[in-house]
Amino acid sequence: MAKCTVITSLCSGKDMTQAGAVYLCTALTNAGLSYRMLDLSSSLDYSNTPKELNTKCTSPNWLNPNSIKYGDWMNDYLPKPTNIGEYIFFSSLYSPDVVFHARLSYNIKKSNPNAITVIGGCAIVSLQKEQLKLLSEFFNYILIGHDIKYLLNAVIGANQHSKSNCTIIKKITPPSFQPDYSLLPLNDLVTVYSGHGCYYGKCSFCDYPSRSYQKVVFRSANKVAIDVNNIFQLQPKIKDIVLTQDSYSKKYLNETVNEIARFGGKIPYNLMLRAETWVTDELGENLAKSGCTDVFIGAEALDEEILAILNKGLGVEKIKNAIKILSKFVKVTIGLILFVPGISEKSLITQLKNIEMILPYLYHIEPEILTIVNGSAFALNPSKFGIKLYEAKNPINNSWCFGLSHDIPWSMRDANLMRQWFYFFRNLKELCINHVKPGYWQAIEVLEKKYKLAR
Ligand code: SF4
């Protein structure tokens, strides 16, 4: 029997290779520990999770461990825990993963009380204290951070594991080793860890300012390029290699692009970038020469007033300029945030005009409903922004995952502005129908239907 079991995310699709699982398997291999994989990917559809999971914040299930303990319905989505080994590592990518992993850990411990269960991954990093407390009932260890070798050693190297208390271990620095991508099947989409953190850190919708760590970390550009090449050598038909860092300095981006270019510029990859003022033709050309095919820019808005409320730190002209430059060399997709509070009708008219102007330069647009997350400026000072939090009646998002999603249900005080946003959305849809994947419209249409019914 293998000493360890690695359990993957349930929500990630079969077309994706989870970098977190690759790092974990590499660290286990390097530590000389045998393991087996329990691949649960595609067991859940993230955009259509089971209705039992969608729990209103006023429900007794909200942040309540009993919802996991007595959630027998979850067993239909989970394997029976047999031959599970001594250590069980859960790699959580999305909030629903956390809930199902907790339930599986609970099931495992019922039949094998000595098993050491450990949870980590992207979905854990942004959880708040209260949420971690809920989770700690179900695991021996909660790991927060990216330095997997350190985190693993802290678990395996412990003299004794407490049965009654959960240990939370945090280590944010980047992993110190090169991951071995041959350990897992390589699918169409593979992520490469290129760093984390944000040197701006002030957007009002983002929880970055309240995170316990705010260091910007860039992984060695050379190591990133080696990963990109290794993946391509293992799977030359790969469709999508995505770099994780979305907050580059000019120096680090140039280094990364140059390092990847050294492998011949034939490996398709893509990245996320702020609409920086230092985006130039030269950078665009170098990106394309290195193999970069697509750049995603989180523009969020194309109107000064909306950008000011979002505290994006960038103006419309700068964003448009970066899009225009990059679009000469790579496909540019932008993200937009809809339903921003505290703005005027005039802003929505201006924004639509600006989108129309920039449309010929865009490959895709991803319009999304504003989510209010714990720790963001919106969440810390809702009345300043004209919003109400934890709205049981007619909230913009329904709370879900028993409170383990870090979104907060909210509503806009100004009902008239809500109507104007729906009007904007219909105009946007007419304008950009070919630039937006249908799922984005559907999410807004569901919200609109709900609001019409409530009136
Ligand atoms: S949303 Fe803003 S603050 Fe948050 S990581 Fe991105 S650029 Fe930084």
Q: 11: domain CATH number?
A: 3.40.50
Per-residue pLDDT band for 376 (boundaries 50, 70, 90) equals: very high
CA of 30 to the centre of ligand 1 (A): 34
231 and 288 both lie in a single domain:
yes
247 lines ligand 1 (CB under 6 A): yes
Q: In this model, does residue 246 exceed pLDDT 90? A: no
Where do the DSSP E strands lie in 154-258? Answer: 167-171, 189-192, 195-196, 217-218, 240-243
CATH of the domain at 284: 3.80.30.20
206 lines ligand 1 (CB under 6 A): yes
CA of 274 to the centre of ligand 1 (A): 9
d(CA 251, CA 172): 22
Q: Report if residue 375 sits inside a domain.
A: no
Final residue of a structural domain among 171, 196, 215? 171
β partners of residue 88? 5, 117
Range of the domain at 361: 188-370+414-454
200 lines ligand 1 (CB under 6 A): yes
**Helix and strand numbers, DSSP H then E, in the chain:** 16, 19
Q: Report if residue 422 sits inside a domain.
A: yes
165 and 200 both lie in a single domain:
no
245 and 352 both lie in a single domain:
yes
CA of 218 to the centre of ligand 1 (A): 16
pLDDT digit string, tens, across residues 85-100: 899 999 999 999 999 9
147 and 254 both lie in a single domain:
no
d(CA 226, CA 168): 32
Q: Report if residue 311 sits inside a domain.
A: yes
d(CA 402, CA 103): 12
| Amino acid in the structure at residue 379 | A
Name the residue at shortest CA distance from atom 3 of ligand 1.
201
The pLDDT of 339-363, averaged and rounded, is 97
Final residue of a structural domain among 120, 142, 171? 171
260 and 229 both lie in a single domain:
yes
Q: In this model, does residue 334 exceed pLDDT 90? A: yes
| Helix residue ranges per DSSP H, 157-210 | none
Choose among 415, 418, 407: nearest CA to 371: 407
Q: In this model, does residue 213 exceed pLDDT 70? A: no
d(CA 273, CA 86): 42
Domain count, the chain: 2
Query: Half-sphere exposure of 214 toward its Cβ, with a 13 Å CA cutoff?
Result: 11
9 and 157 both lie in a single domain:
yes
d(CA 127, CA 145): 12
Per-residue pLDDT band for 129 (boundaries 50, 70, 90) equals: confident
Q: Specify the pLDDT at position 15.
A: 87
Ligand 1 atom nearest residue 199's Cα: 8
Say which residues have a Cβ less than 8 Å from residue 35's Cβ, sequence separation at least 6.
2, 3, 4, 5, 6, 25, 28, 29, 85, 89
Name the residue at shortest CA distance from atom 2 of ligand 1.
203
> Helix, strand or coil for residue 300?
strand
CA of 145 to the centre of ligand 1 (A): 18
Ligand 1 atom nearest residue 202's Cα: 3
- Higher pLDDT: 161 or 387? It is 387
131 and 203 both lie in a single domain:
no
Q: Specify the pLDDT at position 1.
A: 58
Q: Report if residue 16 sits inside a domain.
A: yes
End-to-end CA distance of the chain: 60
Ligand 1 atom nearest residue 312's Cα: 2
296 lines ligand 1 (CB under 6 A): no
Ligand 1 atom nearest residue 200's Cα: 8
Tokens of 379: 């969440």
- Higher pLDDT: 403 or 294? It is 294
Say which residues have a Cβ less than 8 Å from residue 313's Cβ, sequence separation at least 6.
200, 202, 203
248 and 336 both lie in a single domain:
yes
Q: Report if residue 429 sits inside a domain.
A: yes
| Helix residue ranges per DSSP H, 250-315 | 250-261, 281-290, 304-310
Q: Specify the pLDDT at position 83.
A: 82
Tokens of 424: 């904007």
198 lines ligand 1 (CB under 6 A): yes
Instruction: Answer yes or no: pTM beyond 0.85.
Output: yes
113 and 73 both lie in a single domain:
yes
Tokens of 135: 């989770």
d(CA 173, CA 354): 40
CA of 441 to the centre of ligand 1 (A): 24
Final residue of a structural domain among 119, 145, 171? 171
d(CA 35, CA 152): 13
Per-residue pLDDT band for 313 (boundaries 50, 70, 90) equals: very high
Ligand 1 atom nearest residue 206's Cα: 4
The pLDDT of 249-272, averaged and rounded, is 96
Give Cα separations from 221 to 142, 195, 333 (angstroms): 29, 10, 24
How many CB atoms lie under 10 A from the CB of residue 438? 9
β partners of residue 295? 271, 332
Ligand 1 atom nearest residue 274's Cα: 7
Q: Specify the pLDDT at position 212.
A: 65
Using DSSP bridges, classify how beta strands 195-196 and 217-218 pair: parallel, antiparallel or unpaired.
antiparallel
- Cβ atoms of residues 174 and 219 within 8 Å: yes
215 and 141 both lie in a single domain:
no
| Amino acid in the structure at residue 437 | K
CA of 312 to the centre of ligand 1 (A): 8
Ligand 1 atom nearest residue 207's Cα: 4
Q: Report if residue 401 sits inside a domain.
A: no
93 and 239 both lie in a single domain:
no
Per-residue pLDDT band for 162 (boundaries 50, 70, 90) equals: confident
Q: Specify the pLDDT at position 130.
A: 87
d(CA 242, CA 226): 14
Per-residue pLDDT band for 432 (boundaries 50, 70, 90) equals: very high
Q: Is 454 exposed, middle or buried (0-12, 13-18, 19+ CB in 10 A)?
A: exposed
Ligand 1 atom nearest residue 198's Cα: 8
199 and 124 both lie in a single domain:
no
208 lines ligand 1 (CB under 6 A): yes
The pLDDT of 435-440, averaged and rounded, is 94
Name the residue at shortest CA distance from atom 8 of ligand 1.
201
Residue with tokens 């790092």: 23
CA of 198 to the centre of ligand 1 (A): 6
Q: In this model, does residue 164 exceed pLDDT 80? A: no
The pLDDT of 377-383, averaged and rounded, is 95
- Cβ atoms of residues 259 and 294 within 8 Å: no
Q: Specify the pLDDT at position 400.
A: 84
Per-residue pLDDT band for 163 (boundaries 50, 70, 90) equals: confident
Residue with tokens 């030359």: 236
How many CB atoms lie under 10 A from the CB of residue 242? 17
Q: Report if residue 266 sits inside a domain.
A: yes
Q: Specify the pLDDT at position 405.
A: 86
Q: Report if residue 396 sits inside a domain.
A: no
**Percentage with pLDDT > 70 across the chain:** 99
Q: In this model, does residue 44 exceed pLDDT 70? A: yes
| Amino acid in the structure at residue 288 | A
The pLDDT of 151-157, averaged and rounded, is 90
CA of 314 to the centre of ligand 1 (A): 12
d(CA 333, CA 331): 7
Where do the DSSP E strands lie in 206-279? Answer: 217-218, 240-243, 269-273
Per-residue pLDDT band for 34 (boundaries 50, 70, 90) equals: very high
301 lines ligand 1 (CB under 6 A): no
Q: Specify the pLDDT at position 312.
A: 96
CA of 153 to the centre of ligand 1 (A): 31
